[in-house]
Structure 1
Amino acid sequence: MSDQKNREYHLKGNTNATYQENFKKHPLLNKPIHTERPMKIICAGAGLSGLLLAYKLQRSFEQFELTVYEKNEDVTGTWFENRYPGCSCDIPAHIYTYTFEPKHDWSRTFAGSEEIYGYYKGFAETYGLHKYIRLNHRVSGAYWNEDKGTWRVEVTAVTTGNTFQDSCDLFVNATGVLNDWKWPEISGLRNFKGALMHTAHWDTDVDLTNKSVGIIGNGSSGLQVLPAVHDQAGKIIAFLRSSTWVIPTQGVEQRNYTEEEILKFKNNPEALLNYRKKLETRRSSLFPLFHNDTEEHKIVTQKLTQMMKEKLNNPDIEYWLIPKWGFGCRRFTPGINYMETLGSEKVHVVHGGITQITEQGCIAENGQEYLLDVLICATGFNTSYAPRFPVVGENGKNLAEDWKTEAKGYFGVAAADIPNYFTLLGPNSPVNNGPLIAALEAQVAYILKLMNRWQTEHIHSVSPKTEAVEDFIAYKDNFMTKMVWTQNCRSWYKNSSVSGKVTALWPGSSLHYIEALVEPRYEDWNIKYKGNRFVFLGNGYSQTESDDTADWAYYVRNSDDSPFIGRSKWRKMITKSGTLPGGSRLPQDCIIS
């Protein structure tokens, strides 16, 4: 919208004289520059993203009201929901924390879900975040009101099913992408008379002792649950529809930390910091492996192929499990003890899909029926990135419908024509490009910078320009042509398709993403004002002059310690460029060592 149309829109037919009279009476003209107005925010989801948003708002802002609606009975999102046997993170625990909030006493390298849940729940309690959170409440719709410049948010109480309306100035969708778990689309699923479970909805009352257990799927959860239930089950039928790269260690051994190591990390924060930095650097060093046809990629593919063959020691399983597509096309997982367990006498591997589920078991593509007492579906999530509820913006645009085929977001944080709406870990975020949590923190910081302008500059609304989003998508699509993610493998990076567009991943490394989000490109945003855009200048006085306890000469100092303005010097300063030896990071060593 042009500046003139913007002004005309907000004048609503008023005469110029009326406009000038209203302008002269504006309350901000009697207050100092950048006077903060009350800011009401609603966030959907109290997982890692929602908790981080609440913490950062609390740390950096005043004059705000925040409500976080969480559908579960407790916080932490996926780590509250996923409690299946063997469930753990595929990122070393010491770097699966907020970068500013280390934990010295992780029990092992790749922590289990209960320990991760405990960390993030403890974070919420430490910083008093529960005062913002309403548990057992699900956002079921969000509708933008252009005249008021506010969101009407529909909320459903999970325990009663009753709905009510709330409103806010700014709405944040932090529901994530791996939260809407799905059953396999196989005929007869509900006819099964045995115990039926999904890994994301585990029934702890089901006893697997000496039972015949079927497991569908060999993604991350399938690779973890098979070794975990092996000793308890009497027999396991592993249905493998597709191949997958199984990474035994990711260059980091799965082991328990010793008491001496934990005590060292507790008493020597610098030693813990150095260890975390080492793990984080290894994670960043992986990115070159995701480029097609590079020497590094060929070396890792050859090494992994040989390693999988040695561990499987079964030509038939090797043929079906080892991919023909390149390493990294799908998300890899440590797969600890998975290949060894496949070779167990207890485990029978069935190749190909399942054509039908019966009352007693599964009929495979080979025509044979396998009788089961328990059927475990490790079949993943709905990964379309379309919101799970209506998000209706300008001109009735419903993002839930618009993104069903292809999610076209802006830098993972927003959507065109959806004002004052932000996403955390939205489409094309760096969810497997390198370090994740640091990138999430960059997203929150970026969004809060926009919120800060909204609060202090009398802005009506902000949203990315359509042309900016289209340009970004064009750049992203062109970049992806040289990446392994576009190879013909079925992946949630491509909305569970084989050859669709890569909608999940950022076109670059995680460090590339962090630098791209250091400051908003305001020229990419539609910024609408409530009347005269300069009323925020106020009465000609600064905020400092209204504070008798402040230093009114804060800028006078003995030396120039100001941050560098030039991007190159700024980057070298914050990254301590020149302090480490170069040329020592071999990406293939971060997978196999």
Structure 2
Amino acid sequence: MAEPKPWPEVPVGNKDHTRAAVVIIGAGMSGICMAIDLIKRSNCRNFVILEKGSGCGGTWRDNKYPGCCCDIWSHLYSFSFEQNPNWTRRYPGQEEIQAYLESIASKWDLYRHMRLNTAVEEACWDNVEKKWKTTVQVSGEKDREFAGSYTITSDFLVSAVGQLNVPQYPAIPGMDDFNGKTMHSARWDWSYDLQGKRIAVIGNGASAVQLVPEIAKVASSLTVYQRQANWLLPRNDIMIPPFTRALFRWCPPYRWRKRAVIMDWREESHEGFFNPKSLGSAFVKEQFQIMLKRDLSKRPDLWNKLTPNYSPGCKRTIFSDDWFKVLARPNVQLETRHISRMTSKGIEVEDGDSQEFDLVIYATGFRSVQFMYPIKIVGSDGRSLSEIWQHGPQAYFGITVESLPNFGMCYGPNTNLGHNSIVLMIEQQCRYIAGMVKTVLDARRQGKTLALKPKPEVVKAFNDELQRRLGKSAFADPNCSSWYKTKDGRITNNWSGTVVEYQKNVEQIRWSDYVVEGSGADTLVGEEMKVGRVVEETQVSYNTIWWSTASVLFAGVMFATGKFNFLLRAT
């Protein structure tokens, strides 16, 4: 019988159910990526993934409303190390993305590490043991018969809860008085029959723009309550034909090139969503007007109502081929007057007009600026995360937080994008965290302790410069309210540059940026640890590819015709 693998290569078993090398909170895209990086880069399988839901997938499991899909091209919205050649559409739908994530979790044998229906209540750092103590509540009825609550001790803690996980409900007087059906777009009830119903949709963001065209097909009437207009660009969504999918599958270089070209195009669009004075910003406005007046040519009364009064990029720019078209339907109404209250039968607006509804849908987004909510986090010296973040969430490159040793975040503060795929950011963050984890576990292998936390002055300097740059961006436009920023205008969610810029900043861990404590401090080697990055932008121009291909074909023709040897003799 083979000898068992050494710690931390051995997975957590029954006897050590409450101890692990690493605890990951969340089984969405970030949690899956983090787990794979622990396996690949830290040679670690001694981890658990805590998930409050009953399955993996994160936001793609939660958001299953009609028409739910991604606004990034499918070939870029997937892991670089697990590219999917079988996407059926240019923009993937929720079910297809969910199936992709489930397949990756299965391929990497991650289900054995997941503890589902398990919600994290609090995580506290033990200054003496130099370990995290994470307390969970079990919600599954049968699982609660074993243990309703318990605490896991770990060397490292990773938050993979993301920014879009807790639904945001509006504060409208009388919400509890409404006697009809209500649901949030992120908590869709598919058992409810929409056929012939009078429906209200509160909100006009990305979720509303995707679901309204679908439910308008079956509703007797549908009213959209818009608080503020959004900039819109065409999706130009199409099916990917079988022949193209076959090329992606059997000719990987073709797929890699396609992904790189999409990456380039998205990176080049950054200026248009960041700089309100750029040509890209003007282009967005121009395309918007073309779509608006084309699709609503017979409804000029809606043009002003649908035209934003702020810079493109300030709020999430929406991609849709049918939003304006659906607003032209006879059974769809756009309401821009302020909602004053909800009644037992419907919704009343500011001048007293009211409508009766069977169903009210809250397409009002998430509590995006309250990272880690509602989990209670307590770091070194008893400092809580709410105390650390009393002036707003901030982290070092969105990954590490002062006073939280051996802790890392995926998709943390100021790592969201307005122009490119968040997967590219997540992969880089996981590389960085995996490097930190490896260092901490290497010390423990030697019987030593090691605690790493960013220096407060480093975190402050980084965020001061970040906010300075963001203050000049379209995100800071005072004319719009968005989930990118707090009520006082601090931009807590978005990154200030391109993906490549972020990746290059985070491709090494500089130990001088960290407070290093514990008996294993001497295990740190050198001034920094290189974690690298995935280079996905194009490295070779089309001209180079064309001339190289032409040269190969020319040589092949010459060889086939017997003229190749003649040329060699002539030289």
TM-score, normalization: structure 1? 0.82
Q: Does 2:326 match 1:305?
A: no
- How many Å separate the matches in 2 of 1:121 and 1:536? 37
Change (3 A) 1:184 1:574: closer
- The SS at the match of 1:166 is strand
Q: Does 2:213 match 1:222?
A: no
- The SS at the match of 2:255 is helix
- How many Å separate the matches in 1 of 2:387 and 2:212? 37
Q: Which residue of 2 aligns with 1:534?
A: 522
Q: Which residue of 2 aligns with 1:261?
A: 244
Q: Does 2:483 match 1:492?
A: yes
Q: Does 2:139 match 1:150?
A: no
Change (3 A) 1:59 1:308: same
The answer to whether the 8 A contact 1:104-1:262 is kept is: yes
Amino acid at match of 2:171: E
Q: Deviations over 1:439-475 (max 9, x none)?
A: 2111000111111222224452001110001101110
Change (3 A) 1:374 1:471: same
- The SS at the match of 2:121 is strand
Q: Does 2:56 match 1:75?
A: yes
Among all aligned residue pairs of Structure 1 and Structure 2, give the percentage whose two residues are the same amino acid.
27
Q: Deviations over 1:421-441 (max 9, x none)?
A: 111110011433433212211
Shift in Å, 1:386: 3.2
Q: Which residue of 1 aligns with 2:3?
A: none
Change (3 A) 1:575 1:80: closer
501, 505, 510: which one pairs with 1:512? 501
Shift in Å, 1:76: 0.7
The answer to whether the 8 A contact 1:141-1:155 is kept is: yes
Q: Does 2:29 match 1:48?
A: yes
The answer to whether the 8 A contact 1:216-1:379 is kept is: yes
Q: Which residue of 2 aligns with 1:118?
A: 99
Amino acid at match of 2:245: I
Q: Which residue of 1 aligns with 2:559?
A: none
Q: Which residue of 1 aligns with 2:363?
A: 378
Change (3 A) 1:446 1:345: same
The answer to whether the 8 A contact 2:261-2:537 is kept is: no
Shift in Å, 1:405: 4.5
The answer to whether the 8 A contact 1:52-1:444 is kept is: yes
The answer to whether the 8 A contact 1:384-1:403 is kept is: no
- How many Å separate the matches in 2 of 1:262 and 1:378? 34
Amino acid at match of 2:34: L
Amino acid at match of 1:492: W
The answer to whether the 8 A contact 1:459-1:527 is kept is: no
Q: Which residue of 2 aligns with 1:357?
A: 342
Question: Which structure's relative contact order is higher, taking Cα pairs within 8 Å and 6+ residues apart?
Answer: 1
- How many Å separate the matches in 2 of 1:308 and 1:229? 21
Amino acid at match of 1:225: L
Shift in Å, 1:274: 1.8
- The SS at the match of 1:534 is helix
Shift in Å, 1:261: 1.8
Q: Does 2:204 match 1:213?
A: no
Shift in Å, 1:571: 10
Superposed counterparts of 1:113-512, under 5 Å: 113-160=94-141, 162-249=148-235, 253-289=236-272, 290-313=274-297, 314-388=299-373, 389-403=375-389, 405-457=391-443, 458-488=448-478, 489-495=480-486, 497=487, 500-512=489-501
The answer to whether the 8 A contact 2:57-2:101 is kept is: yes
- How many Å separate the matches in 2 of 1:438 and 1:305? 31
Amino acid at match of 2:503: I
Superposed counterparts of 1:30-69, under 5 Å: 40-62=21-43, 64-69=45-50
Change (3 A) 1:536 1:105: closer
Amino acid at match of 2:268: S
Q: Which residue of 2 aligns with 1:556?
A: none
Change (3 A) 1:263 1:151: same
- The SS at the match of 2:450 is strand
Q: After alignment, is 237-246 or 68-77 more displaced?
A: 237-246
Amino acid at match of 1:463: K
Amino acid at match of 2:502: Y
The answer to whether the 8 A contact 1:433-1:510 is kept is: no
Q: Which residue of 2 aligns with 1:523?
A: 512
- How many Å separate the matches in 1 of 2:539 and 2:83? 24
Amino acid at match of 1:265: F
Amino acid at match of 1:353: H
Shift in Å, 1:284: 1.2
Q: Deviations over 1:159-210 (max 9, x none)?
A: 2472211111110111111000022111111211111111000011111111
Shift in Å, 1:326: 0.9
Q: Which residue of 2 aligns with 1:99?
A: 80
Shift in Å, 1:508: 1.2
The answer to whether the 8 A contact 1:430-1:513 is kept is: no
Change (3 A) 1:245 1:402: same
- How many Å separate the matches in 2 of 1:366 and 1:311? 30
- The SS at the match of 2:509 is coil
Shift in Å, 1:574: 9.1
Shift in Å, 1:296: 3.0
- How many Å separate the matches in 2 of 1:187 and 1:360? 14
| Count of residue correspondences | 513
Q: Deviations over 1:323-348 (max 9, x none)?
A: 01111111112123011001110101
- The SS at the match of 1:214 is strand
- How many Å separate the matches in 1 of 2:267 and 2:462? 23
Q: After alignment, is 385-394 or 199-208 more displaced?
A: 385-394
Q: Deviations over 1:453-507 (max 9, x none)?
A: 2222445200111000110111011111221111021111113x4x611111122
Amino acid at match of 1:530: S
The answer to whether the 8 A contact 1:433-1:508 is kept is: no
- How many Å separate the matches in 2 of 1:572 and 1:41? 24
Q: After alignment, is 399-408 or 460-469 more displaced?
A: 399-408
The answer to whether the 8 A contact 1:37-1:455 is kept is: no
Q: Deviations over 1:226-284 (max 9, x none)?
A: 001111111101111111112222xxx20111122222222222222222222222111
- Alignment RMSD (CA, Å): 2.5
Change (3 A) 1:432 1:334: same
The answer to whether the 8 A contact 1:425-1:431 is kept is: no
The answer to whether the 8 A contact 1:43-1:174 is kept is: yes
Q: Which residue of 2 aligns with 1:9?
A: none
Change (3 A) 1:210 1:76: same
- The SS at the match of 1:164 is strand
Q: Which residue of 2 aligns with 1:8?
A: none
Q: 4+ residue runs of structure 1 moved beyond 6 angstroms?
A: 35-39, 570-576
